[in-house]
């Protein structure tokens, strides 16, 4: 395992010394080491012959709600069965030492289960169920039979329409509060870490550029090149768990060094 690149360590040190905040923007790659498939680059799932872009839309829901709900129930079950990985835990640890604002495109709850506070779930949350027609929140989850591809959605107790997952589908607006928090964090941070995102889904993919325009240093953490790689200050080719584990121990050594020097 490599060590923290000097430029990244330097940027974190300057942020801490200057009393700045770190904004962390995570995508599906953050949860890959928990065994949750990303949208791009996965060939091994039950659903690999389906295109997420065709399932994650309101039109797909209207056309075949049982197919879409079956896909989301499968994904929910995968998240329930998974555990936060070392990267999720490292971010929770980092936040104990550095003011940190966490913005995620992920719809899973692994950051929270690792002990982090998420400032913005910009693409919503799988488990924040609501009625497709009237929007009423719904908490109970139906039973899921392993391997089921089509599952009839639950019904709203208020209006009788179908219960949908609480995610933002392609073509839908982002939740106002989550997006406002994300923009605020991008504009205020001194350092932004962009972890495990392909940088193809806008407007979230515009947050790193926004941070840079406001003077932040932007670091990409991803084992593969992405659409954002050319636009960031530093690229760190490592997985989320590898990189964040190493980064999370730095503030303690920085503390030690600065107190030793005083």
Ligand X SMILES: NC(=O)c1ccc[n+]([C@@H]2O[C@H](COP(=O)([O-])OP(=O)(O)OC[C@H]3O[C@@H](n4cnc5c(N)ncnc54)[C@H](O)[C@@H]3O)[C@@H](O)[C@H]2O)c1
Among 158, 180, 200, 227, binds Zn ion (CB under 5 A): 158
Q: Considering the rule CB under 6 A, would residue 123 count as an interface residue with ligand X?
A: yes
Nearer to ligand X, 153 or 196 (CB): 196
Instruction: Answer whether 188's CB lies under 8 Å from 21's CB.
Output: yes
Instruction: Answer whether 166's CB lies under 8 Å from 128's CB.
Output: yes
DSSP string, 105-118: ---SSHHHHTTPPP
Minimum distance of Zn ion from residue 246's CB (angstroms): 48
Instruction: Answer whether 27's CB lies under 8 Å from 198's CB.
Output: yes
The residue annotated as part of the active site, out of 97, 123, 234, 257, is: 123
Burial of 184 (0-12, 13-18, 19+ CB in 10 A): middle
Rounded to an integer, what distance in angstroms lies between the CA atom of residue 12 and that of residue 89? 18
Binding segment (CB under 6 A) for ligand X, from list 90-98, 144-152, 219-227, 229-237: 219-227
**Residue 127 is encoded by which pair of tokens?**
């488990």
Q: Considering the rule CB under 5 A, would residue 137 count as an interface residue with Zn ion?
A: no
Q: Considering the rule CB under 6 A, would residue 47 count as an interface residue with ligand X?
A: no
Cis peptide before 203 (omega within 30 of 0): yes
Instruction: Answer whether 15's CB lies under 8 Å from 190's CB.
Output: yes
- Out of Zn ion, ligand X, none, what residue 47 binds, judged by CB under 5 to 8 A for its kind, is none
Binding segment (CB under 6 A) for ligand X, from list 14-22, 25-33, 130-138, 206-214: 25-33
Note if 121 is an active site residue: no
Binding segment (CB under 6 A) for ligand X, from list 89-97, 138-146, 178-186, 217-225: 217-225
The binding site for ligand X (CB under 6 A) comprises 27-29, 31-33, 36, 38-41, 105-108, 123, 196-198, 200-201, 222-224, 226, 239-240
């Amino acid at each position: 395992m490599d060590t923290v690149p000097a430029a990244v360590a330097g940027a974190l040190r300057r942020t801490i010394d200057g009393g700045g905040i770190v904004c962390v923007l995570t995508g599906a790659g953050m949860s890959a080491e928990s065994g949750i498939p990303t949208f791009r680059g996965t060939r091994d799932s039950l659903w690999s012959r389906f295109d997420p872009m065709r399932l994650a839309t309101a039109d797909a829901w209207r056309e075949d709600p049982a197919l879409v709900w079956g896909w989301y129930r499968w994904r929910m079950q995968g998240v329930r069965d998974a555990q936060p990985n070392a990267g999720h835990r490292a971010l929770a640890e980092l936040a104990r030492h550095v003011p940190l604002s966490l913005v995620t495109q992920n719809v899973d709850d692994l950051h929270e289960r690792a002990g982090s506070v998420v400032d913005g779930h910009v693409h919503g949350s799988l488990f924040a169920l609501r009625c497709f027609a009237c929007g009423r929140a719904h908490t109970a989850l139906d039973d899921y039979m392993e391997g089921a591809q089509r599952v009839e959605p639950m019904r709203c107790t208020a209006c009788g329409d179908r219960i949908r997952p609480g995610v933002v589908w392609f073509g839908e607006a982002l939740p106002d509060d989550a997006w406002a928090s994300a923009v605020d964090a991008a504009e205020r941070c001194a350092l932004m870490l962009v972890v495990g995102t392909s940088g193809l889904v806008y407007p979230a993919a515009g947050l790193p550029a926004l941070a840079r325009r406001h003077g932040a240093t932007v670091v990409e953490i991803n084992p593969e090149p992405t659409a954002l790689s050319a636009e960031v200050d530093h690229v760190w080719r490592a997985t989320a768990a590898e990189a964040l584990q190493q980064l999370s121990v730095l503030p303690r050594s920085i503390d030690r060094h600065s107190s030793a020097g005083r």
